[in-house]
């Protein structure tokens, strides 16, 4: 590093700082419900003259500061050499006097268009709590500044944290600035040190890829959210035009970028408080591009609480002024909406064909986001000024001014989750009845496990039943890392969701991916998109365009033990199906027991089953198997050989008169084959449900429960959960052909539902894996159902058809669940199952108690559930 620095210093020229004000934005799209609205967003881009070097800068010499400026209005933001902390050497670069989140240290680098650079910088803050810090890039195109994420992460107080990512420079950028900013930490001082900017061996953008828009041409347009900086890079624009046919501005049509505060202030001073001035400079490049190429744009967004300056709500548009009256705010909203539509109709007719009229009005608790007066941290000024009416009024105005063929949407995240789903449904229903809304946008910022595709479709169907259209507006999926296995998982997750969308394409208008690549995603540290940091296609891209490019799949099965290999235990073990055949595996101290059940009505001399384990092959001819109705059962007892402690190579092959069918390697009937994996798991604990149907029609608890034996919820992560024996939970289970019934009896002297978060209230939860495939991620048959002591129901997965009742008792409460079976069920069936109690202790802490799982991963992993056996 020191030798590099010496070379750098030799190259530094003294550059007079030229500061020019352009325009700007600060933060990126966020889905957190805990976002603090920005204090003021009169943002201004600052352009510095360009440094002449790449390499590493440790800020040890005064000359190391040349070219670095504090980005801000006027001279308030100051960067200086500091010896208070350093990541290396004695000094670092301190930034002080920050007023806005985007106020931070920045420098322009001599990037070459089309090349990719790796950027790393160490940051340090000691505010006393973790803060999100962001490495960003600003590109100036035709005098207008555009912004993109390079990397962002949570930074603990008092620790050096590295921000690192890649940046592709646009050939048409007049200047590219790298800078560090914050999210919701506007006034905080911070330090940076050891910034390294290096050219990477660039991979070319591939021009011979299949196209996403072609792959889905029969179902819906595929789109992409792009930042303004994209238009500094003609090669990238060409690439995106080949892939997508509809686009969304990542930031440039958000109120903070459209509202011209300075001009609005001038109007207010001249006596007009109701006509805000608008400016579309940042939005233009994408609009022009779409107009020229015949693409559509989704307008994002008219009315939102975030990335909307507080000054918009204040007298004279002054951030420190009083709030305007409801009447004035309604007029400002109407005139803003009218102004946006007038501009689009005049300049870009037929381009912006849908609008997110209102964004993220609903809280995760199914209630509207509160006013700032009610909740100073998370409240929103639309509620303080207009009140809940702001939402229907925004739609009324939008309908009034929008061209007839432009569709109006309500857009939000976490739509498929209750109670938010019902909250949004109740919100849009009267607006739909008034004819002022055309659809609901599902942002779809999803996790690898949640929500299950069917849960998303079920939620979409509710709105479709109101006559509304659906747009998937901001699809991305968080991954844990970018390793091979995780990226294959991501590919499967994208494919499963897109397959579900295609199957239901009659209600879906478009699917839009939120961002271009993992380099520029707002979740760059979660590798959530279809192209990697170097714009190369990921498995997720191939899964959607040409699945034959994916590596051959290795399946995983588990054996369960250590148990006696009897019929009862085989019924509890997970069933692995291939075609009409399936197998289950048990083990004890000596053997694996593999039971293969084959559907084969024709008895032939060469009907046989082969088991492949590590490098052994075991064959059992049908003549040595047990004949059953329509087929036969082949039982293998093989020595418990384990090359690996946890996973052994494994496959099962069934031959029916010479025709092969296999679990893992379906393409190969030979003895050399691609093997799956067999793992070992402890057989989960089980309860037996009693056959019967409790009457849930009245207010009374059916006495039929009295005769059912109770089991105990006695596992906990901390013994504090039981509060020294004051808290105890038992449960009973019954089943009928229609439902699984669970009665949870809670002794708890402190019942608490003060939190807005459902699982932070005293509540009983049932985990249910109907097909007991213990698939890890939640499948369509899996559910997590919760009810608090006041019978407030919520479901993180599964069906909303679950019925619950609760009764408060002298020392706690009773909760009763009826969970419908989706498939036919019969005596002896086994389902994945767990019972949890979320105990909010008298100290206000959440403590977990479970019947079976002790890991607290059941919310994302169905493999940790216990079992319920359907008994007599």
| DSSP conformation class of 754 | -
In whole angstroms, how close is the CB of 122 to Ca ion at the nearest point? Answer: 9
* 412 in contact with Ca ion (CB under 5 A): no
Shortest distance (Å) from residue 622 CB to Ca ion: 7
**Chain CA centroid to CA 18, Å:** 41
Map tokens 């039982």 to a residue: 635
Query: In this complex, which beta carbon is closest to Ca ion, that of residue 58 or of residue 196?
Result: 58
Residue by residue, what is the 3-state secondary structure of 641-698? CCCCCCEEEEEEEEEECCEEEECCCCCCCCCCCCCEEEEEEECCCEEEEEECCCCCCC
Polymer length in residues for the chain: 872
CA distance 491 to 544: 8
The correct pick among 656, 796, 829, 853 for binding Ca ion (CB under 5 A) is 656
In angstroms, give the least distance from the CB of 770 to Ca ion.
6
State in angstroms the smallest separation of the CB of 87 from Ca ion: 6
Binds Ca ion (CB under 5 A): choice among 839, 861, 863, 864: 839
Our CB check for Ca ion shows the closer of 130 and 747 to be 747
Give the closest residue to 711 by CA, choosing from 850, 809, 572. 850
Scan residues 49-78 and list those touching Ca ion (CB under 5 A). 58
Q: Is the Cβ–Cβ distance between 598 and 632 less than 8 Å?
A: yes
For residues 439-498, which are near Ca ion according to CB under 5 A? none
Q: Among 72-80, 94-102, 460-468, 838-846, which window interacts with Ca ion (CB under 5 A)?
A: 838-846
| One residue of 782, 796, 834, 853 binding Ca ion per CB under 5 A | 782
User: At 723, phi and psi to the nearest 5?
Assistant: 45, 55
The residue from 181, 474, 533, 765 that is catalytic is 474
DSSP 840: E
Residues near Ca ion (CB under 5 A), total: 23
Q: Which is nearer to Ca ion, 412 or 782 (CB)?
A: 782
Cβ nearer to Ca ion, comparing 326 with 846: 846
Q: Applying CB under 5 A, which of residues 42, 256, 607, 853 lies at the interface with Ca ion? A: 607
User: Which residue, among 257, 255, 256, 237, has the nearest Cα to 247 in the 3D structure?
Assistant: 237
Site string for Ca ion, 170-209 (x = CB under 5 A): -----------------------x----------------
Shortest distance (Å) from residue 517 CB to Ca ion: 31
723 is an active site residue:
no
Enter the tokens of residue 143.
């005098």
Q: Which is nearer to Ca ion, 275 or 572 (CB)?
A: 572
d(CA 747, CA 750): 9
644 vs 718 by CB, closer to Ca ion:
718
For the bound state, the minimum distance from the C-beta of residue 762 to Ca ion, rounded and expressed in Å, comes to 4
Per CB under 5 A, 840 contacts Ca ion: yes
Residues 6+ apart with CB under 8 A from 327: none
Inter-residue contact 830 to 868 (CB < 8 Å): yes
- E strand spans, 236-323: 246-249, 296-303
Tell me: does residue 777 bind Ca ion (CB under 5 A).
Answer: no
Alpha helices in 386-452 (DSSP H): 390-401, 420-433
Question: Are 652 and 579 contacting, i.e. CB atoms less than 8 angstroms apart?
Answer: no
CB of 633 to Ca ion, least distance (A): 14
Min separation Cβ 768 and Ca ion, Å: 9
> To which residue do tokens 């993109």 refer?
148
270-309: contacts with Ca ion (CB under 5 A): none
Position 89 contacts Ca ion (CB under 5 A)? yes
CA-angle at 157, arms to 156 and 162, nearest 5°: 50
Element (H, E) at 785: strand 782-788
Among residues 781, 834, 853, 861, the one that binds Ca ion under rule CB under 5 A: 781
Which entry of 360, 533, 745, 816 is annotated as an active-site residue? Answer: 360
861 binds Ca ion (CB under 5 A): no
503 is catalytic: no
Residue 609, strand partner residues: 620, 654
Can you list the pairs that 238-243 forms with residues at least 24 positions away whose Cβ atoms lie under 8 Å? 238/205, 239/205, 239/207, 239/535, 240/516, 241/293, 241/295, 242/207, 242/209, 242/211, 243/209, 243/211, 243/212, 243/213
Measured from the CB atom, the residue of 673 and 797 that comes closer to Ca ion is 797
Taking CB under 5 A as the rule, which mask of x and - marks residues 734-773 in contact with Ca ion?
Answer: --------------x-x-----------x------x-x-x
The alpha carbon dihedral of 817, 820, 826, 832 has a sign of: negative
Tell me the helix, strand and coil percentages in the chain, rounded to 5.
20, 35, 45
Nearer to Ca ion by Cβ, of 345 and 747: the residue is 747
Q: Which residue in 604, 695, 738, 856 binds Ca ion (CB under 5 A)?
A: 604
Detail the DSSP E strand segments found in 76-172: 78-82, 92-96, 105-108, 116-125, 131-141, 144-155, 159-168
For the bound state, the minimum distance from the C-beta of residue 854 to Ca ion, rounded and expressed in Å, comes to 20
Minimal distance, residue 439 CB to Ca ion, in Å: 31
Nearer to Ca ion, 577 or 644 (CB): 577
Chain centroid, CA 759 distance in Å? 19
Closer residue to Ca ion, CB minimum distance, 607 or 649: 607
Catalytic residue numbers?
360, 474
Which residue ranges make up the site for Ca ion (CB under 5 A)? Answer: 58, 86, 88-89, 91, 193, 600, 602, 604, 607, 656-657, 748, 750, 762, 769, 771, 773, 779, 781-782, 839-840
């Amino acid at each position: 590093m020191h030798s590099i620095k010496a070379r750098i210093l030799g190259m530094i020229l003294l550059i007079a700082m030229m500061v020019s004000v352009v325009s700007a934005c600060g933060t990126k799209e966020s889905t957190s419900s805990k976002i603090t609205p920005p204090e003021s967003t009169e943002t201004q881009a600052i352009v510095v003259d360009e440094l002449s070097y790449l390499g590493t800068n440790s800020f040890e010499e005064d000359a190391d500061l040349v070219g670095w400026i504090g980005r801000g209005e006027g001279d308030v933001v100051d960067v200086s050499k500091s010896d208070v902390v350093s990541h290396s050497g004695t000094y670092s670069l301190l930034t002080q006097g920050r007023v806005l989140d985007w106020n931070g240290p920045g420098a322009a680098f001599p990037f070459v268009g089309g090349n990719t650079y790796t950027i790393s910088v160490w940051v340090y803050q000691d505010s006393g709590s973790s803060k999100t810090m962001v490495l960003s890039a600003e590109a100036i195109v035709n005098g207008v500044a555009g912004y993109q994420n390079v990397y962002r992460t949570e930074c603990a107080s008092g620790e050096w944290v590295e921000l690192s990512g890649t940046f592709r420079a646009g050939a048409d950028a007049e200047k590219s600035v790298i800078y560090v900013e914050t999210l919701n930490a506007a006034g905080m001082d911070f330090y940076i040190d050891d910034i390294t900017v290096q050219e990477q061996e660039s991979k070319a953008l591939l021009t011979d890829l299949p196209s996403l828009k072609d792959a889905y041409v029969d179902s819906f347009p595929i789109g992409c959210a792009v930042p303004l900086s994209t238009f500094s890079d003609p090669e990238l624009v060409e690439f995106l035009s080949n892939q997508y046919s509809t686009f969304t501005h990542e930031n440039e049509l958000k109120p903070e970028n459209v509202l011209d505060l300075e001009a609005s202030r001038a109007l207010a001073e001249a006596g007009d408080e109701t006509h805000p001035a608008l400016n579309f400079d940042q939005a233009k490049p994408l609009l022009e591009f779409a107009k020229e190429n015949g693409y559509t744009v989704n307008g994002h967004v008219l009315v939102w609480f975030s990335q909307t300056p507080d000054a918009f709500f204040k007298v004279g548009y002054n951030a420190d002024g009083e709030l305007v009256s409801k009447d004035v705010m309604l007029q400002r909203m109407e005139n803003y909406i009218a102004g946006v539509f007038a501009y689009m109709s005049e300049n870009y007719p037929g381009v912006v064909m849908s609008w997110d009229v209102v964004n993220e009005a609903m809280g995760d608790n199914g209630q509207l986001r509160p006013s700032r007066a009610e909740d100073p941290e998370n409240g929103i000024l639309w509620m303080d000024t207009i009140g809940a009416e702001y939402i229907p009024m925004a739609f009324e105005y939008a309908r009034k001014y929008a061209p007839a063929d432009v569709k109006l949407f309500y857009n939000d995240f976490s739509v498929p989750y209750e109670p938010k789903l019902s909250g949004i449904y109740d919100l849009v229903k009267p607006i739909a009845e008034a004819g002022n809304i055309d659809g609901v946008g599902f942002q779809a910022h999803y996790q690898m496990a949640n929500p299950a595709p069917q849960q998303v479709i079920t939620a979409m169907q509710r709105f479709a039943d109101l006559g509304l259209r659906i747009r998937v507006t901001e699809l991305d999926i968080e991954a844990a890392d970018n390793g091979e296995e995780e990226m294959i998982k991501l590919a499967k997750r994208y494919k499963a969701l897109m397959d579900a969308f295609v199957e239901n394409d009659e209600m879906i208008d478009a699917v839009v991916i939120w961002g271009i690549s993992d380099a520029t995603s707002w979740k760059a540290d979660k590798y959530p998109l279809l192209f990697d940091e170097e714009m190369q296609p990921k498995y997720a891209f191939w899964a959607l365009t040409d699945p034959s490019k994916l590596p051959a799949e290795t399946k995983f099965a588990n054996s369960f033990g250590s148990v006696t290999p009897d019929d009862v235990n085989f019924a509890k073990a997970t069933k692995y199906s291939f075609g009409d055949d399936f197998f289950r595996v048990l083990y004890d101290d000596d053997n694996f027991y593999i039971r293969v059940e084959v559907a084969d009505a024709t008895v032939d001399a060469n009907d046989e089953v082969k088991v492949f384990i590590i490098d052994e092959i075991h064959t059992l001819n049908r003549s040595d198997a047990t004949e059953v109705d329509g087929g036969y059962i082949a039982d293998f007892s093989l020595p418990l050989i384990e090359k690996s402690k946890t996973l052994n190579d494994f496959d099962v092959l069934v031959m029916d008169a010479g025709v092969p069918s296999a679990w893992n390697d379906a393409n190969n009937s030979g003895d050399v084959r691609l093997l799956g994996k067999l793992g070992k798991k402890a057989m989960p604990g089980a309860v037996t449900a009693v056959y019967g149907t409790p009457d849930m029609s009245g207010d009374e608890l059916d006495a039929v429960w009295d005769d059912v034996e109770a089991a105990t919820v006695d596992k906990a992560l901390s013994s504090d959960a039981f509060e020294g024996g004051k808290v105890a939970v038992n449960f009973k289970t019954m089943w009928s052909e229609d439902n699984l019934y669970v009665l949870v009896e809670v002794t708890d002297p402190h019942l608490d539902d003060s939190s807005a978060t459902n699982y932070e209230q005293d509540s009983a939860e049932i985990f249910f894996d109907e097909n007991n495939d213990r698939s890890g991620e939640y499948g369509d048959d899996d559910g997590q159902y919760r009810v608090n002591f006041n019978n407030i129901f919520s479901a993180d997965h599964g069906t909303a058809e679950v019925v619950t009742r609760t009764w408060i008792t002298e020392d706690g409460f009773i909760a009763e669940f009826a969970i419908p079976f989706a498939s036919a069920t019969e005596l002896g069936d086994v389902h994945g199952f767990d019972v949890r109690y979320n105990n909010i202790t008298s100290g206000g802490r959440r403590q977990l108690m479970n019947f079976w799982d002790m890991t607290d991963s059941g919310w994302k992993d169905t493999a940790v559930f216990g079992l319920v056996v359907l008994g007599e």
